[in-house]
Structure 1
Amino acid sequence: MSMQLSREGIIAGPSSGEALHGLLNYLRKLKDAGRLQELADPLTGEISCVFICCDLPYQYMDGYFQKLGEKEFPPIQNQRWELSPEKAIRKFSGRLQPECLYPLYDSLTFRSNLACGNSQSSKNVILDLRRAEDFEAEHIHGARSTPLKNLSSKTGDIFDDPQALHMYWMNLRLKFSDEAEILRSIASPLLVVCYDGEVSRLATSLLRTQGHEAYSVLGGFPALLGEIRGRK
């Protein structure tokens, strides 16, 4: 029951779920005995109930997976804004072509800055969260380097680590707050890339709550780079 509470926005642990379960059992017994109306407000007829949320779910995450069946954990598919590399290239076709890679490879010919949306009059629509040195080594022409604190190629699955998830969420909130004016000047839609697509997925979620049309790429920059190279 605590998992259902959390999914409805009341972040609560097992003891909190048991408290609600006990309250519902008590109300059910009164109803079966025909006494439920004894709790009703004489003026409104409403019954007000309170239960205590005394714990959080984070330290019990493994227990949920161990004790509950697979049907309680349907797969999550962010189909609208989490793009495969192929779909990202189709949606951002003007910027994600072999000619738009930096540095340019021997077999590639750079047509023009304009072909990659890199003219001075164009707006940046690609946000690259990777470290500055990795961006310098390889990136998409016209992308905006916006390194995220503590992010590196060694960052693991943040969605399997509540503390890491919270840290990156706070870092992203601070970054997007500091860069709010810049973000408002960037033409939508935005494409966000990182090392593996996990942190960019979190960033995209936050950007969308702020009103931006943002997308992330499954597999991150390496997957996108591989798809672009395959089209040369």
Structure 2
Amino acid sequence: MNVFSGKTALLDFYNPDKNPPLPLVELPSHPFEGDNVRIYAKMLTLLPAGNVKSLPALNMLMRASEAGEINDSTEGLSSTLGAYISNKTSPQKMELLRFFGLDLTLFGGPAQVEPADVNGGIYAAIQDGMRPGWYNPGQYSSPQNSEAHVRWTGPQIHRQLPKINIFAAAVGTSGTMTGTGSYLKTVRPDMVNLGVFTAPGDRVPGPRPIDLVQTVDLPWQEVIDAAEHVSSKDSYRISLELCRQGLLVGPSAFICCDQPYQYISDYFTKLDSSYFPPIYNTELLDKDLYPYGVDWILSPSDAFRLLYPAHGLQTPPTSPTELEELKDIQEPLIHAHAMVIDLRSQNDFKRAHIPGSKNLDIQCSGSKNPFKNPGILAELWEVLRQALVPGTKDMSNKSVLLVSYNEEIAYVGCSVLRKEGVKAFALGGGFEKWKEAGLDAGTPTTRH
């Protein structure tokens, strides 16, 4: 009768084994109707929590409970739930998370990071999860993520649609595709699994561009047979069409965690702040607001090729003789459509620098990694905006290489310049990596 009662009522309500299968709904219209293709949507938004993420979360928590890592009597558990998120997360989503009782810790840098990025929130969560009394489910590497879909989603779909030919799912942490796709392959070996990724350089809540899924430990690459890359414009357009037809799905379709919670802001208007968990690193709420690109950081060899294409040097010098020949060239070495801006101190710049570069001593941060210190990042971002933006007219139609003590400082500068339309790059590893690569690090006394 679909009634849940007793001490375990809530647990039973969330347990798919104690619920009827979620609906599988055929789309009323689509572009492939003329080819006799029938498309069905698995309505995971009708789960008790309203989104597919509740399945791996439930499975990981159930397994952790079975292993004794957590237990129902953990003192203060409800008051110590937290999320590590990008400072570029929308205010609405931050309010939603706080509405459900999570305290938030903000991280600067790219909005979507690889799990292995030591500057990102995912890596920080993994490290903090190792502390005594802490627990991090680790959705990016835990096999219990995809196991949830082997356990529930895949079997449901096969029972409902035994002649399924193609399974498509957006890929973010890859749990849905890995688990559901691998299960369906065991019962329908000839079927095709289609992984759907965000188009490169674009962003849709939930899924990721394929280059940001490479370091996810789940074996999604072994499961998918084909891939599609979808723009955010198309994602939101189709989402709007489906919602108007009666299927309330987000821009990443059925796996999207976001639904139109329309009244969250009213809670924050009517109740004072004591009712809601805090936000940490609030200095990042109005700083470091621009996008980042994973391909903006160049190795010394790639940076060399960017600066010196006019001399036909496709690779860095491989011997001292070649390097001396390069130094003897009388014409300016840096290509006319390239520029190097060195952000280090004036004294360090005078001691050694890339020939032809310009010094812009920002007098901020030193060699510290700004992504490890929100205060430094906030200050650095503002300093770089004031120092770099006024000179962008001279950077038009140029590729600009930013150099600093480390790549992170230059990376922040790239974000600032890219916002202004400048094609900016950061020297990977900082200036010392350039020197270690055996590349020219001339001084005013040795260069013209």
TM-score by length of 1: 0.62
**Among candidates 125, 137, 143, match of residue 339 of structure 2:** 125
Distance in 2, Cα, partners of 1:163 & 1:138 = 29
Q: Could you tell me which residue of structure 2 aligns to residue 170 of structure 1? A: 382
**Among candidates 352, 367, 371, match of residue 138 of structure 1:** 352
Counterparts of 1:139-218 in structure 2 under 5 Å? 139-152=353-366, 155-184=367-396, 187-218=397-428
Q: What runs of 5+ residues in structure 2 fail to find an aligned partner?
A: 1-81, 103-259, 283-291, 441-448
Secondary structure of the residue that 1:125 maps to in structure 2?
strand
Are residues 4 and 171 of structure 1, via their aligned partners in 2, closer, same or farther at CA, if it must alter by over 3 Å?
closer
Q: Indicate conservation of the 8 Å contact 2:307/2:338, yes or no.
A: no
Are residues 151 and 163 of structure 1, via their aligned partners in 2, closer, same or farther at CA, if it must alter by over 3 Å?
closer
Q: Indicate conservation of the 8 Å contact 2:407/2:428, yes or no.
A: yes
Distance in 2, Cα, partners of 1:123 & 1:213 = 11
Q: Indicate conservation of the 8 Å contact 2:338/2:398, yes or no.
A: no
The percent identity for this pair of structures is 19
Q: Indicate conservation of the 8 Å contact 2:99/2:264, yes or no.
A: no
Q: Could you tell me which residue of structure 2 aligns to residue 82 of structure 1? A: 297
Are residues 224 and 165 of structure 1, via their aligned partners in 2, closer, same or farther at CA, if it must alter by over 3 Å?
same
> Who wins on radius of gyration, i.e. which is larger?
2
Q: Could you tell me which residue of structure 2 aligns to residue 56 of structure 1? A: 279
Distance in 2, Cα, partners of 1:224 & 1:181 = 27
Distance in 2, Cα, partners of 1:220 & 1:8 = 29
1:152-195 per-position Cα deviation (integer Å, ceiling 9, x unaligned) = 3xx312101100000000000111233233334xx411111101
**Among candidates 329, 340, 353, match of residue 112 of structure 1:** 329
Q: Could you tell me which residue of structure 2 aligns to residue 92 of structure 1? A: 307
1:117-159 per-position Cα deviation (integer Å, ceiling 9, x unaligned) = 38xxx4661111011111111111111111112243xx31210
Q: Indicate conservation of the 8 Å contact 1:197/1:219, yes or no.
A: yes
Q: Indicate conservation of the 8 Å contact 1:194/1:220, yes or no.
A: yes
Secondary structure of the residue that 1:127 maps to in structure 2?
strand
Distance in 2, Cα, partners of 1:11 & 1:203 = 28
Alignment: residue pair count: 176
Secondary structure of the residue that 1:86 maps to in structure 2?
helix
- Measure how far apart 1:4 and its partner are: 5.7
Paired letter, 2:324? L
Q: What runs of 5+ residues in structure 1 fail to find an aligned partner?
A: 23-45, 60-76, 99-104
Distance in 2, Cα, partners of 1:200 & 1:82 = 9
Instruction: Decide which structure has greater helix share.
Output: 1
Q: Indicate conservation of the 8 Å contact 1:94/1:116, yes or no.
A: no
- Measure how far apart 1:21 and its partner are: 6.5
Paired letter, 1:17? L
Are residues 9 and 199 of structure 1, via their aligned partners in 2, closer, same or farther at CA, if it must alter by over 3 Å?
same
Q: Could you tell me which residue of structure 1 aligns to residue 436 of structure 2? A: 226
- Measure how far apart 1:222 and its partner are: 0.8
Q: Indicate conservation of the 8 Å contact 2:307/2:334, yes or no.
A: no
- Measure how far apart 1:6 and its partner are: 4.8
TM-score by length of 2: 0.34
Q: Indicate conservation of the 8 Å contact 1:5/1:12, yes or no.
A: no
Q: Indicate conservation of the 8 Å contact 2:308/2:334, yes or no.
A: no
Distance in 1, Cα, partners of 2:331 & 2:365 = 31
